[in-house]
Amino acid sequence: MAAPAPPPPPLPPPVGFITAASSSCGYQVAYAALQKGDHVIATARDPTKIQRLEKEGAYNLAFDHAFSKYGRIDYLINAAGYILEGAVEEVTPDEAQRHYNVIVFGTTNTIRAFVPLRKD
């Protein structure tokens, strides 16, 4: 009887790209991913706010730098956005448009940048 095949080599840790990693949900997801052993590329509007994640091993890079560093990005957590506070009648059209642009187009543009990296 032939000897059993050796087990496959372990998979490398996943590489995650997490937006809005400086606070709230984005931070919690990034921190949990780092604790699990994932490689994390963390982004924030204010990069100084993610220094504690950098101490855990996260990198603050854009897609192209992240892809060149790891050769792949396995998942995207798109947590960026903000809450537009105030009653509807108090929100100006410009504020509403800016909010819509960030929430809808910001998310869409981030996904558009990510998808081609997953197709290869």
Q: What is the pLDDT of residues 43-102, one digit of tens each?
A: 888 877 777 777 777 765 577 777 788 888 899 999 988 888 889 999 999 999 999 998
* Lowest mean pLDDT, pick from 5-9, 31-35, 46-50, 112-116: 46-50
CA distances 63 to 17, 26, 103, 110, Å, are 8, 17, 19, 9
pLDDT number for residue 66: 77
CATH for 15-119 is 3.40.50.720
pLDDT number for residue 113: 82
pLDDT number for residue 59: 63
- Please, are residues 16 and 56 in contact by the beta-carbon 8 Å criterion? no
pLDDT number for residue 14: 95
pLDDT number for residue 106: 87
The pTM assigned to this predicted structure is 0.80
